[in-house]
Chain A
Amino acid sequence: MPQREGSPFTGLATVALKEAADHMTSARIHLVMLLVLLTAIGAVYAAIGQISQTVSEDQFLFLRLLTTAQEPLPSFVAFLGFLLPLVAIALGFDAINGEYNRRTMSRILSQPIYRDALLTGKFLGCLLVIAQCLLVLWLLVIGLGILLLGLPPSGEEILRGLAFLLASFVYAGVWLGVAMVFSTIFRSPATSALATLTVWLLFTIFWPMLSPLIAGAVVPVDPFDPMTAVNQVEVQRAIARISPNTLFGEMTLAILNPETRSLGIVFANQLSQAVIGAPLPVSQSLMLIWPQLCCMIAALLVLFTGAYVSFQRQEIRA
């Protein structure tokens, strides 16, 4: 491979802004966002109903807004865990192959930019849209909360809310990465959308069922050795954590429920000095989710690299 001259970032901002603008005006994204907004408002509204009935003294009312579920509706957080991947997939599934299908690829790449700029620009553009959507959603929820609960969130709640925003952003980024990889591999947008949705279904629906099965097969429990049971649970957790949904679930749990002390199994003797039910400070909660956050960012980078490698080797015809 010969040494290249010039910056790989020429044109990056132009591509990113065009991409973001395209999405902001596209009917597809409007539909998905409408869906997200409606479910979010529904979930928060239901949660407020629940909270105002049961509440006594609670230090973290605003966080309860996000995590309280009222049957049959799941909580706001559960909704986001489910819908954010869909938003990301809707943004990314035809990023690269759409360009081939519109036959604009060779025209764009005959301009003085590298392929890197096109791919990275598209990725950044989509991330920009996701960030904007999340921010709107977040402000909306806080607004609703202030309006309906009649009190402002505390500083700590804002901090935790921001951490939650970051976690959601990275989570959506991972799914955007998956969609981008498939959009470079498959030439047909329908195929890449289906492939991404398959992965999404696998992790959302089947992974929680599969991980105990796999763990049971890999580490069978010996009824006479209690340690094997512990081992099995550990293995099962490790397998479950391959799914970004599990990681996101754990992160939201630790951030939005300040009482959470551990994301693994805890033995009674480890709790001997602990004040059960007492909230952790923000910094400790953040320490708790640090590994999960790093894993997600790593996954995002790996996916991006995958898309990059597959795109660099492609023949640009059409």
Chain B
Amino acid sequence: MNTVIETRDLVKHYGRHAAVDGLDLTVEKGEVFGLLGPNGAGKTTTILLLLGLTEPTSGAVRVIGLDPLRNPLEVKRRVGYLPDQIGFYDNLTARENLLYTARLTGLSTAEANTLIGEALDRVRLTHAADRRVGTFSRGMRQRLGLAEVLIKRAEIAILDEPTSGLDPQSTQELLELIVELGREGITIVLSSHLLSMVQTICNRVALFNRGRIGLMGRVADLTSDVLGGTHVVEVEAGDVDLRAALDGAPHITGVTEQRPGFWRVDADADARPEIARRVVAAGGLLRTMSIRHTTLDEVYVRFFEEDKIHAAA
């Protein structure tokens, strides 16, 4: 394996407040890595530290084997960045905006123009290439930002809240585009506070809470570690104590009664046939049963709830 981003005991203080508090993070080449956590958890700060846009209070950062403070130009040449609140020069056209940053990365105008054409095509903005960015919608700006990362032909793309403010369809399109980039071998680090939305596209995620990583790993591993299962079966049944009925059943990791007659069953596989069999065998009335994948939101809530209880104890 090939580590492209590594932080060791990274700390960033603002005054006495620790925005990032002892971060150990590794990202492998070609991964799609998610930095997930609620507002103020320290995701943006972490990203700024990775890019060398702020200095850490202590700790070390390595990006493609380089220190972003010592070799900022080399790091910034090879890493593309989509800021969370992206802005463009409103009085310039999309093409002019891209040309400016392309010139800053050291491309010649001719080279830049071909790359800009391809990139705009890819994010489907060709029709608006010569319109002033002032007239662009939020989603178009977001896509334009992604085009900028494409033009840079970066090895690593760091995307801060790429889907914030987008409607469901644009979100889906953007996520597809990101997956596509990942498939081409670009390492992608993205942050989001919408955990369930990005869990589908991330190989690995880190769950942040108050400047620390609470959990890190593959989504499936996290859900089975924390909740004991990767699937949730919701069961509506009468005349039965499901907890007793499912006692000892294979694949079942937890049963909770959410309200009378409504149960939530955590499982590490699709356990519906077994549940149905046991409900009926116990003489219960099975009304409905639905299955879905466990979301990271549930993992997050559960994990940090326990964390809080531990902290309080």
A316 to B70, CA, bound (A): 17
Minimum C-beta distance from B143 to chain A (A): 14
List the count of A-B residue pairs having beta carbons below 8 Å apart: 89
Q: Does B124 contact A (CB under 8 A)?
A: no
Q: B73 and A5: CB pair below 8 A?
A: yes
B104 and A14 contacting across the interface, CB-CB below 8 Å = yes
Which of B76-84, B217-225, B261-269 faces chain A? B76-84
Is residue A194 contacting chain B, with contact meaning CB distance below 8 A?
Answer: no
Interface centre among A6, A10, A107, A318 (most CB of B within 10 A): A107
Residues of B within 8 A of A102 (CB): 87-90
In contact, B106 and A110 (Cβ under 8 angstroms): no
A6:B81 contact, CB within 8 angstroms: no
Q: Which of A111-119, A123-131, A213-221 contacts B (4 or more CB under 8 A)?
A: A111-119
CB of A18 within 8 Å of the partner chain: yes
Are A113 and B53 neighbours in the complex by a CB distance under 8 Å? no
Residue B182 at the chain A interface, CB threshold 8 Å: no
**Size class of the A contact interface (CB-based, 8 Å):** 20 to 34
A18 to B109, CA, bound (A): 14
Whether a CB of chain B sits under 8 angstroms from the CB of A30 is no
Please, which residues of chain A bring their CB within 8 A of the CB of B89? Answer: 22, 102, 104
Given A108-B104, A111-B101, A112-B77, decide whether A316 and B48 contact each other with a Cβ distance below 8 A: yes
Q: Are B53 and A106 in contact (CB under 8 A)?
A: yes
Given contacts A6-B74, A102-B90, contact A107 B69 (CB under 8 A): no
Q: How many residues of B contact A (CB 8 A)?
A: 33
| In contact, A112 and B105 (Cβ under 8 angstroms) | yes
A2 CB to nearest chain B CB (Å): 5
Q: How far is the CB of A104 from chain B (nearest CB, A)?
A: 5
Contacts of A316 in B (CB 8 A): 48, 53-54
Q: A105 — nearest CB in chain B belongs to which residue?
A: B87
- What residues of B have a CB within 8 angstroms of the CB of A15 in the complex? 104
On whether the beta carbons of A107 and B73 are closer than 8 Å, the reply is no
Shortest distance between the CB of B133 and any CB in chain A (Å): 10
Q: Which residues of B approach A to under 8 Å, CB–CB? A: 44, 48, 51, 53-54, 67, 69-74, 76-77, 79-81, 83, 85-91, 100-101, 103-106, 145, 148
| The 9 residue pairs across chains A and B that have the minimum distance between CB atoms | A103-B87, A6-B73, A110-B81, A111-B104, A112-B77, A112-B76, A316-B53, A112-B73, A106-B83
6 A-B residue pairs with Cβ-Cβ distance under 8 Å, sorted by A, are A6-B71, A6-B74, A14-B104, A110-B83, A112-B73, A318-B87
Give the interface of A toward B (CB within 8 A).
Answer: 2-6, 10-11, 14-15, 18, 22, 25-26, 102-104, 106-114, 315-318
